[in-house]
A and B are shown apart, each in its own frame.
Chain A
Amino acid sequence: MKTIQYIIGAASVAVALSAAQSCKPKSADTAISGDAAAKTYVAPGKYDEFYNFVSGGFSGQLSVYGIPSGRLLRVIPVFSMDPEKGWGFSEETKPMLNTSHGNVPWDDLHHVQLSKTNGENDGRWVFVNGNNTPRLARIDLKTFRTAEILELPNSGGNHSSPFITENTEYVVAGTRFSVPMDEVDGDVPINTYKKNFRGTLSFVSVNQQDGNMDIAFQIETPGVNFDLSRSGKGPSHGWFFFSCYNTEQANTLLEVNASKNDKDFIMAVNWKKAEEYLKAGKGRKVKVKYAHNKYSEESHTSTSEIKNEVVVLSSKELKDLCYFIPCPKSPHGIDIDPTGEYMVSSGKLAALIPVFSFSKMIKAIESKSFEGDYNGIPVIKYEAALYGEVQKPGLGPLHTEFDGRGNAITTMFVSSEIVKWNIKDLKVIDRQPTFYSPGHLMIPGGDSKKPDGKYVISYNKITKDRFLPTGPELAQSAQLFDISGDKMQLILDFPTIGEPHYAQAIRAEKVKDQSLKTFKLEANKHPYASRGEGETKIVRDKNKVHVYMTAIRSHLTPDNIEGVKMGDEVYFHVTNLEQDWDVPHGFAVKGASNGELLVMPGETQTLKWVPDRVGIFPIYCTDFCSALHQEMSGYVRVSPASSKVALVGNTGTNLPAE
């Protein structure tokens, strides 16, 4: 054992030396030291220290890992249908995926924000964004379920989202792809981008009691690409900062044509000022169409409402609302340090990291230190807002988080490393290789006023040669580093669901004790609930057959159903009568062009089934619930449309005829 430790130790020194010599690691070896396993080991039956909410990228889902073990605890369905949980398959969840385009059963989930109070994670909700068909979602941390999805009008690609203000006053959404406003005829030549395309920044208010979202206002901007954003905090509370690229306003071959300008911009938005303009009636009502979907845990159903109006403020006409700060070059991330004074921007094509000063920016605005304007918006002089530059940090800086000890850690996409540097003196302190091409990184609370600087996780885009090969398609990965000491130490690799963009983590204590175990049967307000087996029945309404069904270990009631006819639409409303934690029942029917249901204790869920042929169709519980789970089944008889078979359902009374 000691020999192995020695060998590993020696190998790590060798790798560390070679990594220091070249930015791009040449091999898959890592600087793992002997105590790494102990640092990530969470014994069976023990809980992890942190919940880590990790974006599922193009899977459209949100995954939850325990840290430091890297154990996958849950995949929460958000924008994509999920057959495991019946999400998007049950009648109750279908409205959640509705949009102005109709049902959009997938999205590209990029970023994650935990709700905050006084600039600290408070464990109430998680917000996530859909990058494809612009949407915001809110997940309730009592149930770990998606509670609300809000579509965003006047937008194409919601990327700089869902970043929030320090008391969760607003969640923002900025267009990655500028498009013509929804109110005008969008049938324009694509090469009239400069004239016809606009960006919007949406400020979505959050009701502090129930978390419900509402588009408070949008700010119309020149057509550019908004990439990421962060709110101010402390002294900079009241401001929001958005990074933007394609200030060239290119509409084709952006790789080249949007990379021409030496500097693009950080847009600083004074949202307190916006509130004043809004109050003063300076907003313009714009006709739009967007969906607002809410799930109720009381009625176990969701609603989708189409809304038709938003208020838009003009960044060009309303003074003191927006300012541009020049930033080299195609900036990606913009991150605000825990004090709220320093704004770290990552020009992904630049060989330096500019750090701006909020107080200098305010002085520059007061003294009008502008170098001109861009589409009517003042551009602050670069030097007037600059605190300083981190020189030669690495190649391709993307994102920065803070350790709460005065340091920042930045991912370098091109040179595949994370780099720790001091915010005050802008000197690089440490660099460690990652495998490979890190995008976002995450320190628990690393965007808050009080980071928990024990770990950093690098979320990597490429994993070739890190895990057993699985054909051409590989999982992407997370790499956990211990950052409690002077040197950052890699202690764990683990694969992720989809492509992990941003992630956030919160101390387990802030979430675990509020976690709901069952839904109370007495409080079930579902219109088709069966509160007890005595309430089960079958009701025909023309060609719709409603089966009020219950499930309990280990039978369905009714489990013999006859009298269903061709042309009928059958709705199985299954109420789980269990009141014990971790006893869901599933429900499936042969041949259904639909998924299954997974019904939590005390909950009611509905599966729609349109029989396609005459015959006998088995139904059964899909979740191994008890020793008699295999017996938890039944039959539905489907007769021709002209049949006179009576509609009946029962359990235990339909005894053998012979």
Chain B
Amino acid sequence: MKKTLMLIVAGVILYACGQKTGQTGDNAETPQKPAVTEYDPQRGEGKFTNVEISERLDAQMAASGKQIFDLKCSSCHKLTDEKLVGPGWQGVSTKHKPEWIMNFITNPDAMIDKDPQLQAQLELCLVRMPNQNLSDDDARHILEFMRQNDGVQ
């Protein structure tokens, strides 16, 4: 870990940690470039532009989403509105568009650097949401689990 970064004053940490993702070197893998140069706070930034969801819950997907939640998310998020390390999940699926959620959980570093809501959130939590290496399907299943958590039947 780049310990020296941590010595920088708190205000700078937010910015400096953003550079920590290893995307700065010429040799580093090129991050996913947004299709448009302007950041879209509704959609977020990442590979998802239009996520189809039905009014009814896909229970199978939601069950798979619960398993991933237990493994990779529950350390920091509660299912209520109570903040643990990160915010509670209650209401998240109605507050954000499906694209935004799936982009954020698969591409957190790029979005934390740009999204006004996430930057505000970071000032409260002070921990950048880790990239938990979710597949596209994982992300979709988590979204369905979030919908279930918000009462979709």
In the assembled complex, how far is the CB of residue B136 from the closest CB belonging to chain A, in whole angstroms? 15
- Interface positions of A from 556 to 611, Cβ below 8 Å from B: 557, 577-584
Residues of B within 8 A of A518 (CB): 133
Q: Does A176 contact B (CB under 8 A)?
A: no
Bound Cα distance from A652 to B75, whole angstroms:
11
B133 lies within 8 A of A580 (CB) = yes
A534 lies within 8 A of B74 (CB) = yes
In the assembled complex, how far is the CB of residue A22 from the closest CB belonging to chain B, in whole angstroms? 44
Given contacts A580-B132, A624-B6, A652-B84, whether A552 and B76 have CB atoms under 8 Å apart is: yes
Q: Does B24 contact A (CB under 8 A)?
A: yes
Q: Does A544 contact B (CB under 8 A)?
A: no
Residues of B within 8 A of A555 (CB): 75, 85
Q: Tell which of B26, B74, B84, B130 has the most Cβ of chain A within 10 Å.
A: B130
Residue of B nearest to A581 (CB): B22
Q: Does A550 contact B (CB under 8 A)?
A: yes
Q: Does A208 contact B (CB under 8 A)?
A: no
Q: Does B1 contact A (CB under 8 A)?
A: yes
What would be 17 A-B contacts, judged by CB atoms less than 8 Å apart?
A44-B25, A45-B27, A47-B25, A520-B133, A521-B72, A531-B70, A532-B72, A532-B74, A533-B70, A533-B75, A534-B74, A555-B75, A579-B131, A582-B1, A624-B3, A627-B6, A627-B10
In the assembled complex, how far is the CB of residue B63 from the closest CB belonging to chain A, in whole angstroms? 15
Q: Does B140 contact A (CB under 8 A)?
A: no
Contact of B1 among A520, A579, A625 (CB under 8 A): A625
Residue of B nearest to A47 (CB): B27
In the assembled complex, how far is the CB of residue B115 from the closest CB belonging to chain A, in whole angstroms? 18
In the assembled complex, how far is the CB of residue A177 from the closest CB belonging to chain B, in whole angstroms? 44
Query: A521-B71, A557-B75, A625-B1 provided; 7 other pairs, C-beta below 8 A?
Result: A531-B70, A532-B70, A577-B71, A579-B132, A626-B128, A629-B6, A652-B84
Q: Does B126 contact A (CB under 8 A)?
A: yes
A553 lies within 8 A of B85 (CB) = yes
Chain B: how many interface residues by the 8 Å CB criterion? 27
In the assembled complex, how far is the CB of residue A560 from the closest CB belonging to chain B, in whole angstroms? 16
In the assembled complex, how far is the CB of residue A253 from the closest CB belonging to chain B, in whole angstroms? 52
Q: Does B127 contact A (CB under 8 A)?
A: yes
A532 lies within 8 A of B13 (CB) = no
Number of cross-chain contacts by CB at 8 Å: 78
In the assembled complex, how far is the CB of residue A558 from the closest CB belonging to chain B, in whole angstroms? 12
B75 lies within 8 A of A577 (CB) = yes
Residue of B nearest to A585 (CB): B1
B131 lies within 8 A of A580 (CB) = yes
Given contacts A532-B71, A577-B72, whether A46 and B127 have CB atoms under 8 Å apart is: no
Interface of A, helix, strand, loop or mixed by DSSP? loop
Q: Does A210 contact B (CB under 8 A)?
A: no
Residues of A within 8 A of B13 (CB): 627
In the assembled complex, how far is the CB of residue B23 from the closest CB belonging to chain A, in whole angstroms? 10
In the assembled complex, how far is the CB of residue A404 from the closest CB belonging to chain B, in whole angstroms? 26
Binary CB contact string for chain B from 108 to 134 against chain A (1 if under 8 A, 0 otherwise): 000000000000000000111011110
Residues of A within 8 A of B1 (CB): 582-584, 623-625
In the assembled complex, how far is the CB of residue A195 from the closest CB belonging to chain B, in whole angstroms? 59
- Interface positions of A from 34 to 70, Cβ below 8 Å from B: 44-47
In the assembled complex, how far is the CB of residue A51 from the closest CB belonging to chain B, in whole angstroms? 14
Residues of B within 8 A of A (CB): 1, 3, 6, 10, 13, 17, 22, 24-28, 70-72, 74-76, 84-85, 126-128, 130-133
Q: Tell which of A552, A554, A584 has the most Cβ of chain B within 10 Å.
A: A552
- Interface positions of A from 501 to 540, Cβ below 8 Å from B: 518, 520-522, 531-534
A579 lies within 8 A of B22 (CB) = no
**CB-CB nearest 4 A-B residue pairs:** A45-B25, A579-B133, A532-B71, A580-B131
Bound Cα distance from A464 to B130, whole angstroms:
47
Q: Does A628 contact B (CB under 8 A)?
A: yes
A45 lies within 8 A of B71 (CB) = no
B132 lies within 8 A of A578 (CB) = yes
In the assembled complex, how far is the CB of residue B150 from the closest CB belonging to chain A, in whole angstroms? 21
B128 lies within 8 A of A46 (CB) = no
Residues of B within 8 A of A550 (CB): 75
Contact of A579 among B3, B17, B130 (CB under 8 A): B130
Residues of A within 8 A of B17 (CB): 627
Residue of B nearest to A651 (CB): B75
B130 lies within 8 A of A578 (CB) = yes
In the assembled complex, how far is the CB of residue A231 from the closest CB belonging to chain B, in whole angstroms? 35
Residues of A within 8 A of B126 (CB): 627-628
Bound Cα distance from A382 to B27, whole angstroms:
53
Residues of B within 8 A of A45 (CB): 24-28
Residues of B within 8 A of A553 (CB): 76, 85, 127, 130
Residue of A nearest to B3 (CB): A624
Q: Tell which of B75, B128, B132, B133 has the most Cβ of chain A within 10 Å.
A: B75
Bound Cα distance from A581 to B133, whole angstroms:
9
Given contacts A45-B24, A628-B126, whether A552 and B75 have CB atoms under 8 Å apart is: yes
A579 lies within 8 A of B128 (CB) = no
Residues of A within 8 A of B131 (CB): 579-580
Given contacts A580-B130, A583-B1, A627-B13, whether A522 and B71 have CB atoms under 8 Å apart is: yes
Residues of B within 8 A of A522 (CB): 71
Residue of A nearest to B17 (CB): A627
Residues of A within 8 A of B28 (CB): 45
Bound Cα distance from A652 to B10, whole angstroms:
25
Bound Cα distance from A47 to B84, whole angstroms:
39
Residues of A within 8 A of B6 (CB): 624, 627, 629
Residues of A within 8 A of B26 (CB): 45-46
In the assembled complex, how far is the CB of residue B113 from the closest CB belonging to chain A, in whole angstroms? 15
B71 lies within 8 A of A554 (CB) = no
Residue of B nearest to A584 (CB): B1
Residue of A nearest to B128 (CB): A626
Given contacts A45-B25, A518-B133, A555-B85, whether A627 and B127 have CB atoms under 8 Å apart is: yes
Residues of A within 8 A of B25 (CB): 44-47
Bound Cα distance from A626 to B130, whole angstroms:
10
Residues of B within 8 A of A628 (CB): 126-127
Residue of B nearest to A583 (CB): B130
Bound Cα distance from A385 to B24, whole angstroms:
57
Residues of B within 8 A of A47 (CB): 25, 27
Bound Cα distance from A553 to B130, whole angstroms:
8
Residues of B within 8 A of A557 (CB): 75
Contact of A46 among B27, B70, B72 (CB under 8 A): B27
B127 lies within 8 A of A626 (CB) = yes
Bound Cα distance from A604 to B152, whole angstroms:
37
Residues of B within 8 A of A46 (CB): 25-27
Bound Cα distance from A552 to B3, whole angstroms:
17
Residue of A nearest to B27 (CB): A47
B72 lies within 8 A of A579 (CB) = yes
Residues of A within 8 A of B27 (CB): 45-47
Residue of B nearest to A512 (CB): B27
A582 lies within 8 A of B74 (CB) = no
Residues of A within 8 A of B75 (CB): 532-533, 550, 552, 555, 557, 577
Bound Cα distance from A550 to B71, whole angstroms:
11
